[in-house]
């Protein structure tokens, strides 16, 4: 059975969403971020990213991780690529070219979008979005994201989804990365194709089911 390590309020959301899309049976181990605990080393602490039992799974102490038939993978976007390849269906690449495009778009999102979008999330998480320093970080992040939004918008002018006319793991991976910038209304208004695409992705039942669990978790 597939095991997903990580709470829903983390990058594990990507893997929970993917498992839902594939209708996979899975076991959830709700590993929480150690930074969210007063004393993560306490014997009574919830299992967290510094817990020895989790470090045995991922020595880097980061969530999510998955274990599937003895195989351990520790990168959220790569986890989804593996699950798509293993289980097939419309979310997976149907040709070598599609496999290449799915990998290309996923790595692009990880390197060109996520580093900037995460800064926006962290600024809000730390309650700094209305401070001069926080506003400067957000403004710089939005400026850095503009080129990526333009590229995705240009692609969506040609195809309904990232690599064609069906939802694939590439859309899921990108949607979870672009979600980090979703507080920036003006950016999405500038690129309405991206906004409409993200709304379509997030309207999927598996995303809605994942979010229903996520919002029940403590912030």
Average pLDDT for runs of 10 along the chain of length 219: 97 98 98 95 94 97 97 98 97 97 98 98 93 95 98 98 97 98 97 98 98 95
Q: Could you say which of 31, 63, 87 is where a domain stops?
A: 87
**The 71-73 sheet, strands edge to edge:** 26-29, 2-5, 65-68, 71-73
User: How many structural domains compose the chain?
Assistant: 2
Got the DSSP string for 98-136? HHHHHHHHHHHIIIIIHHHHHHHHHHHHTT-TTSHHHHH
37, 106: one domain: no
Kindly report, residue by residue over 1-59, the tens digit of the pLDDT.
999 999 999 999 999 999 999 999 999 999 999 999 999 999 899 999 999 999 999 99
How buried is residue 23: exposed, middle or buried, by Cβ count under 10 Å (0-12/13-18/19+)? exposed
170, 143: one domain: yes
Q: Are 145 and 206 in contact (CB under 8 A)?
A: no
Collapsing DSSP to helix, strand or coil, 52 comes out as helix
> How much is the pLDDT for 219?
84
145, 168: one domain: yes
Identify whether 139 is part of a domain. yes
- Domain span at residue 80? 2-87
63, 104: one domain: no
106, 155: one domain: yes
The CATH number assigned to the domain holding 39 equals 3.40.30.10
123, 27: one domain: no
The CATH number assigned to the domain holding 104 equals 1.20.1050.10
Q: What is the pTM (predicted TM-score) of this model?
A: 0.96
User: How far is the C-alpha of 139 from the C-alpha of 213, rounded, in Å?
Assistant: 31
Identify whether 68 is part of a domain. yes
> How much is the pLDDT for 104?
98
138, 181: one domain: yes
């Amino acid at each position: 059975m597939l095991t997903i390590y990580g709470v829903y309020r983390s990058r594990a959301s990507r893997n929970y969403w993917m498992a839902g899309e594939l209708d996979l049976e899975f076991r959830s181990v709700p590993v929480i971020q150690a930074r969210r605990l007063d004393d993560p080393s306490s014997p009574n602490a919830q299992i967290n990213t510094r817990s020895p039992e989790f470090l045995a799974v991922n020595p880097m102490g980061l969530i999510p991780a998955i274990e599937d038939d003895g195989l351990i993978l520790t990168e959220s976007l790569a986890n989804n690529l593996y699950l798509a390849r293993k289980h097939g269906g419309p979310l997976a690449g149907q040709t070598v070219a599609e496999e290449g495009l799915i990998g290309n778009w996923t790595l692009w999102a990880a390197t060109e979008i996520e580093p900037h979008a995460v800064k926006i999330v962290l600024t809000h998480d730390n309650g700094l979005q209305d401070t001069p320093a926080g506003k400067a970080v957000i403004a710089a992040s939005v400026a850095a994201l503009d080129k990526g939004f333009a590229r995705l918008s240009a692609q969506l002018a040609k195809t309904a989804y990232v690599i064609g006319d069906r939802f694939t793991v590439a859309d899921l991976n990108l949607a979870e990365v672009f979600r980090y910038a979703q507080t920036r209304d003006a950016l999405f208004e500038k690129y309405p194709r991206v906004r409409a695409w993200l709304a379509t992705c997030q309207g999927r039942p598996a995303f809605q089911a994942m979010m229903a669990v996520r919002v029940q978790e403590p912030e």
